[in-house]
Amino acid sequence: MSEKAISLPFKLDSYGKISTSSTLSDIWSDRVLSVMGTLKGERVMEPDFGTNLATFVYGNTSGLETSIETEVEQGFIKFLPLLNLVSTEVVANELSGSLDIVITYELPNEEEQTTVVALAAVSRKQPIYQENL
């Protein structure tokens, strides 16, 4: 029997049914995004679930990469124990003000997979271009 899970983020398919993921890689990618994208204290009845990755967008950049790697590692140890974390790479995009966290991990079937978690800072700066409508 094949495993199925609700797709994250939650959405409806073209038939109005709840969208699901059925491949192992999609299911685990959704789970990784769920853990990494949930801020600690955000989930009702489970205040320890998640990470504090979103807070790093607004912080000081010194030691940022080490702090993010530690947060990702702790998230995997506590909430994704069936996965083996291979590497974490932090890519800062100065132009957009975003951080891309490239997480590579090994699935339970020993297949390697990469998931990108993107964090963006909200700023009041105008874009460098303006589209005329």
Long-range contacts of 22-28 (CB under 8 A, 24+ apart): 24/107, 24/108, 24/109, 24/111, 25/107, 25/111, 25/113, 27/3, 28/83, 28/105, 28/107, 28/113
Q: Is the pLDDT of residue 10 over 60?
A: yes
Q: Which of 36-50, 86-100, 106-120 has the lowest mean pLDDT?
A: 86-100
Q: Is the pLDDT of residue 12 over 50?
A: yes
Residue 11: which pLDDT band, with cuts at 50, 70 and 90? confident
Q: Is the pLDDT of residue 41 over 50?
A: yes
Q: Taking residues 111-118, report their average pLDDT.
A: 92
pLDDT value at position 122? 52
Can the peptide bond before residue 108 be classed as cis, meaning omega within 30 degrees of 0? no
Q: Which amino acid is residue 13, in one-letter code?
A: D
Closest by Cα among 9, 48, 15, 16 to 31: 9
Rounded distance, CA 88 to CA 101, Å? Answer: 7
The model's pTM is 0.79
Rounded distance, CA 131 to CA 123, Å? Answer: 19
Measuring CA to CA, how many Å separate 56 from each of 7, 73, 116?
26, 15, 16
CATH of 5-120, one of 3.30.460.10, 3.10.450.40, 3.20.20.70, 3.40.50.300: 3.10.450.40
